[in-house]
């Protein structure tokens, strides 16, 4: 339980820890490279620890050096790796489980991916099904297509796969298998999702082609040997986002976040904040393989907006923050096309709406999104973050604008993505 009320303006210039999504990918793809990969500013997130357990189980040598991670890749032939000893604990990390499934689809022996009960509730057939059609033996052993996932690796063939849900995790699982498969593997997406895997595979020497089809994009690749990377992971935009939202809300704030990832497939929150009348500047300072730079945000009164289905993947993890921003914005904000939010670490639509209402907000859940009408002064109260790090951070931001004490249950889970979040927030005040 934390008490964050009586907030003062946020005036600071800071950095946030390395990007979680990029770190997962770099650690897993490093396994397939020939030689040593160095990943600087590897994410300290609990979820990325789960990804390192995959490497450990396979006998892939790796180690930490301060904030950096090195990995001795075994190459596409998996020389020197051994079948996993015991079940691999993916914790609460859906990205670990789904991306590792793609990697392990061609690995020696049988792997069993399991995890925290929260992860065992989430849908895994969405990766099992395409991997099976590539020739892997993948079984979702939980009821209704859930984990544990039992994967027996073997020779794979490329497929042309149209994503049934806009999911970068599913896309990446197919690409991670595809880089090890005979023939061409391609993934078609009608709504763009984060493209970190494509960028990283290209940077490691894989031939990745992106073409336009049926109003969407087709990402195609061939089996390729991967070169090890020397990568500097930019700050995690999704960790900067609660701080950005807090600065946008608190009168007199002026916050700069330096060295943060600015990949446009991740920064939908800035576009939405712009439409709400938010005052910010985002400046890109470098772009290979990932764009990064600085975001400076100042408080401005906000107005409501509509978040459209086609922009949802670019701010999927920031939508709870949009709900919080909307409580202080004039008018009715509507988010649609976001049914995937119900399948995250918790039902983020139900959890968000319930928590915001507990603080006096006018909020309503929809099957595929939510509606919030503002501006409403938030009052003190109790919110349940449902053991979900994104809800926990969103409620912590709501607490900053509440008139009295807010108790957030489940704050302990913020370390899944942003260890030190509460300390960072408190240091700003
Ligand atoms: C992620 C993709 C998104 C996102 C998750 C991380 C990734 O999930 O919500 O936090 O790293 O690919 P989906 O692919 O399920 O939309």
Q: Of 289, 328, 335, whose CA–CA distance to 312 is shortest? A: 335
Quick check: 149 pLDDT over 70?
A: yes
Query: At 400, which helix (H) or strand (E)?
Result: helix 389-401
Pocket test for ligand 1, best of 50, 92, 94, 311 (most atoms within 8 A of CB): 94
Residues contacting 287, CB < 8 A, separation 6+: none
Pocket test for ligand 1, best of 18, 21, 24, 418 (most atoms within 8 A of CB): 21
Quick check: 114 pLDDT over 90?
A: yes
- Domain architecture of the chain: domains with CATH: 11-17+234-427 (3.65.10.10), 20-227 (3.65.10.10)
Task: Pick the atom of ligand 1 nearest to 317's CA.
Answer: 9
Task: Pick the atom of ligand 1 nearest to 99's CA.
Answer: 12
> What pLDDT is recorded for position 41?
98
The rounded Å distance from CA 314 to ligand 1 centre is 10
The full DSSP string for 28-85 is HHHHHBEEEEEEET----HHHHHHHHHHHHHT--EEEETTEEEEEEETTTTTT--PPS
Average pLDDT, integer, range 157-164: 98
Q: How confident is the model at residue 162 (pLDDT cuts 50, 70, 90)?
A: very high
From CA 238, how far away is CA 14, in angstroms rounded?
Answer: 15
Estimate the crossing angle of helix 319-327 against helix 268-275, to 10 degrees: 20
Task: Pick the atom of ligand 1 nearest to 172's CA.
Answer: 12
262 neighbors 284 (Cβ within 8 angstroms): yes
From CA 428, how far away is CA 167, in angstroms rounded?
Answer: 34
Task: Pick the atom of ligand 1 nearest to 238's CA.
Answer: 10
Whether the model clears a pTM of 0.85, i.e. scores above it, the answer is: yes
Nearest residue by C-alpha to atom 11 in ligand 1: 21
Number of neighbouring beta carbons within 10 Å of residue 362: 15
Structure tokens belonging to residue 152: 């027996």
The rounded Å distance from CA 55 to ligand 1 centre is 20
Signed CA dihedral, 369, 372, 378, 380: sign only = negative
Q: Tell whether ligand 1 has an atom less than 6 A from the beta carbon of residue 21.
A: yes
Query: At 425, which helix (H) or strand (E)?
Result: helix 421-427
pLDDT tens string 372-385: 999 999 999 999 99
pLDDT tens string 169-210: 999 999 999 999 999 999 999 999 999 999 999 999 999 999
pLDDT tens string 268-299: 999 999 999 999 999 999 999 999 999 999 99
317 annotated active-site: yes
From CA 174, how far away is CA 109, in angstroms rounded?
Answer: 19
Q: How confident is the model at residue 3 (pLDDT cuts 50, 70, 90)?
A: very low
Q: Tell whether ligand 1 has an atom less than 6 A from the beta carbon of residue 168.
A: yes
From CA 17, how far away is CA 43, in angstroms rounded?
Answer: 6
DSSP letter, residue 104: H
pLDDT tens string 257-269: 999 999 999 999 9
pLDDT tens string 376-409: 999 999 999 999 999 999 999 999 999 999 999 9
Which of 7-16, 20-29, 213-222 tops mean pLDDT? 20-29
> What pLDDT is recorded for position 370?
99
The rounded Å distance from CA 251 to ligand 1 centre is 32
Residue labelled with tokens 């603080």: 359
> What pLDDT is recorded for position 7?
66
Q: One of 47, 89, 195, 317 is an active-site residue; which one?
A: 317
Residues contacting 187, CB < 8 A, separation 6+: 161, 162, 163, 171, 174, 175, 178, 218, 219
Query: At 426, which helix (H) or strand (E)?
Result: helix 421-427
């Amino acid at each position: 339980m934390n008490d964050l009320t009586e907030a003062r303006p946020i005036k600071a210039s800071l950095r946030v820890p390395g990007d979680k999504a990029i770190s997962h990918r770099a650690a897993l793809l490093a396994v397939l490279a020939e030689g040593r990969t160095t990943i600087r500013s590897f994410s300290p997130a609990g979820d990325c620890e789960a990804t390192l357990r995959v490497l450990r189980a396979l006998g892939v040598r790796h180690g930490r050096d301060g904030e950096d991670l090195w990995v001795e890749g075994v190459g596409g032939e998996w020389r020197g790796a051994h079948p996993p000893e015991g079940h691999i604990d993916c914790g609460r990390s859906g990205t670990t489980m789904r991306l590792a499934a793609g990697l392990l689809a061609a690995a020696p022996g049988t792997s069993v991916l399991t995890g925290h009960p929260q992860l065992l509730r989430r849908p895994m057939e969405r990766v099992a099904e395409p991997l099976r059609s590539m020739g892997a033996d993948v079984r979702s052993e939980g009821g209704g297509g859930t984990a544990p996932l039992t994967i027996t690796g073997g020779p794979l063939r490329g497929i042309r796969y149209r994503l049934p849900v806009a999911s970068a995790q599913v896309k990446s699982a197919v690409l991670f298998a595809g880089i090890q498969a005979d023939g061409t593997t391609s993934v078609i997406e009608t709504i763009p999702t984060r493209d970190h895997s494509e960028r990283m595979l290209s940077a490691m020497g894989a031939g990745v082609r992106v073409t336009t089809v049926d109003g969407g994009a087709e990402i195609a690749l061939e089996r390729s040997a991967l070169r090890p990377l020397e990568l500097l992971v930019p700050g995690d935009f999704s960790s900067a986002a609660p701080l950005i939202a807090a600065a946008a809300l608190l009168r007199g704030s002026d916050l700069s976040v330096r060295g943060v990832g600015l990949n446009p497939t991740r920064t939908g929150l800035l576009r939405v904040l712009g439409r709400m009348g938010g005052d910010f500047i985002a400046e890109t300072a470098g772009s290979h393989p990932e764009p990064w730079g600085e975001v400076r945000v100042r408080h401005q009164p906000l107005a409501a907006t509509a978040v459209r289905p086609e922009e949802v993947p670019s701010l999927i993890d920031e939508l709870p923050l949009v709900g919080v921003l909307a409580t202080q914005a004039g008018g009715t904000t509507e988010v649609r096309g976001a049914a995937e939010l119900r399948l995250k670490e918790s039902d983020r639509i139900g959890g968000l709406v319930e928590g915001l209402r507990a603080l006096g907000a006018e909020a309503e859940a929809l099957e595929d999104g939510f509606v919030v009408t503002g501006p409403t002064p938030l009052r003190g109260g109790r919110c349940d973050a449902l053991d979900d790090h994104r809800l926990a951070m969103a409620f912590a931001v709501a607490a900053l604008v509440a008139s009295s004490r807010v108790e957030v249950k489940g704050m302990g889970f913020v370390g899944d993505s942003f260890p030190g979040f509460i300390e960072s927030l408190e240091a700003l005040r």
